[in-house]
A and B are shown apart, each in its own frame.
Chain A
Amino acid sequence: MSQSKNKKVRIALFDFADCEGCQLQVTYLNDQLVGLLEHCEIVNFREAISERSDDYDIALVEGSITRKHDEERVKKIRENAKILIAYGSCACIGGVNGLRKKFTQEEAKDIVYKGREFPIDVGEPRPVHEVVKVDYFIYGCPTNNEETIKALKSILIGKGYTPPRYPVCVECKLKENVCLFEKGQVCLGPVTRGGCGAWCTSYGNTCYGCRGLLDKPAQEGQMDILKKNGYTLEELKQKFETYNLCRMMGEQNATEKS
């Protein structure tokens, strides 16, 4: 986006159905946040400031959209913002909120609010782009500050930001990590969108697929790898569900329809 010489770019953060962990990441930016604030100002940030404004250029939207009320609110944000960024996995792919889709609304209500009698609006969890147009995506649960900064700089200078289309393995190998498959663990790295700098796997964790499925996963190849390591598709699916049920159910529906 083009910047006029003196006016600072106004950034607003909003949260929907989520844990607000990605917003918390913003507070961890520390020095970098100070640098950014030389040409930006944050006008909405529930976790850190009390100011509220409807006048902003960039909206960082965190969380999945679930209820009718949320839908209206995010539409309003879309109207106000020149640039809308889906920020974090809940916003980008539905994230863990997607697990709700394993149950009917009634079942879910019953599990969570058992015995309590009050009207509660439970909607279908959706990534933001299923409700309004999203300009850019910053994936991750939580988002990785290095990527957030990279994306913001890139958007501010007018280049925009496209997350990598390659799997987590690319960055994992560059870090010279010992492959987790070699250590007998199920890792979702090969089918998960990279860009996180192989954050989890560099610390000995497996990849949980929080950045969502690749645009073009190699399904056959992936199955081979699983079989070779003694895992089943079910096991992979189960692990993948944690973050990706919105897309998985979506796809299921799409295929059912066709």
Chain B
Amino acid sequence: MIYPVHQQPGAAAHADAVAAEHGGAAVAGAKSRTLWGDAFNRLKKNKLAIAAVVWIIFVVIVAATADLWVPQTLGDPTATASDNMAGMSRLAPSLEHPFGTDTLGRDVLSRVIYGARISLVVGLVSTGISTLIGLVMGALAAYYGGIWDTIIMRLADMFLAFPYTLFVIMMIAVIGNGIQNVFIAIGILGWPQIARVFRSAILSVKENDYVDAARAMGASDVRIITRHIFPNSVASIVVYATMNIGGAILTESALSYLGMGVVPPDPSWGTLIQDGQQYLQTQPWLMILPGLAILSTVLAFTLLGDGLRDALDVKMKDA
């Protein structure tokens, strides 16, 4: 399947920024007069987005503090066959093991929690890499235009012409298995979308008088981009990057499912599903529960992204 071209929030967010500048982005009952203050006020009213934020914070806290309590209460998530827990192999969910145990007798909840660490880090780091490359490429293409625009956008076309899953797998095959390489592969391949979003955002901001004014006052290109253009197109980048985190988590789970992600015995949600697949007929929860972890986390990032888009986008809000 392919991802549809995202509705680009750039133009509308820009309208918001301009409106905010003229003090026109008034939201009933809100005191704030800044773009982000208004956006925050609107986001607070979106119950789904708040639920998503709460879930993301919960997952982050559980994953970050896992070392302090998970091995003690649920058991070692990376025990091996030599630890001799075969007697506890594939137990059904119970109070002691809420998600049951796997073939080697390891607690599945503990493995899901440690898997959350991998997923969150992959989501954030690879989105960070994609965003950074995408911003630089998008800025070069939009600001300098001409030959730069042609080269960069054709390069983006090339990356997008390649079937995505296949491209990631080939990248991993070239640079080797392992979680760092998953960051790099997903990160590098994600730049064209961000570059396109940023490029169109810049193009819509660039024609404004205040950019001409800054140039007339002798501001350098870098200063114009970082001080004038970037703040006025950052809304669309934030929305896009938030949604991208969910996509990166899905891609990591697919790679780990195929055995190209984390190296065993480290757990990842994708490897847990792969392990569980063999016992589909007898212990289906081994496959279902890690999938629910992916679903809830990716859904949270999507809902947060939707909420941010609505909050930062006055035009859509009024429609």
A and B bound?
Answer: no
Q: Which residues of A line the B interface, CB within 8 A?
A: none
